[in-house]
């Protein structure tokens, strides 16, 4: 069933009860990049929580121990109500670097079942179908959140609700610097009407500014390094801490 947080009865009248959120960080990161969306994790959590009561929010990710920027992001996540579960990235023969945390996610979902009423799994990975069914058999409601084109149909089918992040992108997207906007493709852009772009200097993923200040081009689009997951994570200072209840 598709999920509409503005019309859904259970959302409006508080039937979701205690909510546990499980975020497959790597899966969400790549899906969001595919859709040119820079996720604001505090906004995302508020949307996923709705009028429910947060039990705990988990964030699972592979880490590069030498990436200081990523470590800074994970520290911010911990300080803002997320329980971070991490595993060091492994380098494979073809040069790719991955860390699989599917088992950790499934185990946590099952071990906490009974302490929450609603589980929200943020992932599009079909490998979670069995775990979702197992949690549902324990009497918990399970919602899947993700971008429809990046979410396995079988995973959507076994969920009680599907939250299409693409349809609510404006509710979970980071705010852009002053003077910037999102273009028709969903990418951040700046129009200077033929003159040099004016604006404040804002930190970018690479630490050298996002290019909006004094940019000579009429349209500037932020690009991030495909190899650095942490590059898309730049929490703004006005984010609100989420209460972590037991």
Q: Within this chain, do residues 111 and 216 fall inside the same structural domain, yes or no?
A: no
Cα–Cα–Cα angle for 168, 169, 172, rounded to 5 degrees? 95
| Span 15-32, average pLDDT | 94
Tell me whether residue 84 is in a domain: yes
> What range defines the domain where residue 77 resides?
9-171
How many CB atoms are closer than 10 A to CB 66? 7
Q: Within this chain, do residues 189 and 167 fall inside the same structural domain, yes or no?
A: no
Contact status, residue 112 vs residue 55, Cβ threshold 8 Å: yes
Q: In 3D, which of 165, 207, 216, 169 has the Cα closest to residue 188? A: 169
- What's the confidence (pLDDT) of residue 226? 28
Write the pLDDT tens digit of every residue in 201-243: 333 223 333 333 333 322 222 222 323 444 444 443 333 333 3
Tell me whether residue 208 is in a domain: yes
Say if residue 191's pLDDT is above 50: no
> Could you tell me if residue 230 is left (phi over 0), alpha (psi between -120 and 50 degrees) or otherwise beta?
alpha
Q: Within this chain, do residues 81 and 202 fall inside the same structural domain, yes or no?
A: no
CA 50 remoteness from chain centre: 16
Q: Within this chain, do residues 80 and 190 fall inside the same structural domain, yes or no?
A: no
Tell me whether residue 242 is in a domain: no
Q: In 3D, which of 23, 9, 39, 24 has the Cα closest to residue 231? A: 39
Tell me whether residue 196 is in a domain: yes
Q: Within this chain, do residues 199 and 108 fall inside the same structural domain, yes or no?
A: no
CATH of the domain at 58: 3.40.50.1010
Domain count, the chain: 2
Write the pLDDT tens digit of every residue in 38-55: 999 999 999 999 889 999
Q: Within this chain, do residues 101 and 151 fall inside the same structural domain, yes or no?
A: yes
- What's the confidence (pLDDT) of residue 58? 98
Q: Within this chain, do residues 165 and 184 fall inside the same structural domain, yes or no?
A: no
Highest mean pLDDT among 12-16, 157-161, 185-189, 217-221: 157-161
Q: Which of 123-127, 167-171, 172-176 has the lowest mean pLDDT?
A: 172-176
- What's the confidence (pLDDT) of residue 71? 87
What is the token pair recorded at 43?
Answer: 């906004």
Query: Which one has a higher pLDDT value, 154 or 174?
Result: 154
Residue that finishes a domain, picked among 150, 171, 192: 171
- What's the confidence (pLDDT) of residue 151? 97
Write the pLDDT tens digit of every residue in 121-146: 999 999 999 999 999 999 999 999 99
């Amino acid at each position: 069933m598709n999920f509409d947080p503005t019309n859904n009865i259970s959302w409006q009248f508080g039937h979701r009860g205690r909510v546990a959120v499980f975020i497959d960080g790597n899966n969400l990161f790549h899906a969001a990049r595919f859709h040119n969306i820079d996720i604001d994790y505090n906004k995302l959590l508020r949307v996923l929580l709705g009028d429910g009561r947060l039990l705990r929010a988990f964030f699972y990710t592979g880490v590069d121990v030498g990436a200081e920027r990523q470590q800074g992001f994970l520290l911010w996540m911990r300080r803002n109500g997320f329980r971070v579960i991490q595993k060091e990235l492994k380098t494979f023969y073809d040069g790719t670097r991955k860390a699989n945390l599917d088992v950790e996610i499934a185990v946590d979902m099952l071990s906490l079942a009974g302490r929450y009423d609603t589980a929200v799994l943020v992932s599009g990975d079909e490998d979670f179908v069995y775990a979702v069914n197992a949690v549902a058999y324990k009497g918990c409601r399970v919602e899947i959140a993700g971008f429809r084109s990046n979410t396995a149909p079988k995973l959507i089918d076994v969920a009680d609700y599907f939250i299409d992040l693409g349809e609510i992108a404006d509710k979970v997207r980071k705010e852009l610097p002053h003077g910037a906007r999102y273009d028709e493709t969903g990418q951040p852009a700046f129009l200077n009407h033929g003159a040099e772009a004016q604006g404040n200097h804002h930190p970018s993923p690479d630490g050298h500014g996002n290019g909006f200040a004094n940019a000579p081009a009429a349209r500037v689009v932020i690009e991030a390094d495909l190899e650095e997951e942490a590059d898309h994570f730049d929490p703004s200072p006005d984010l609100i801490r989420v209460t972590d209840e037991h």
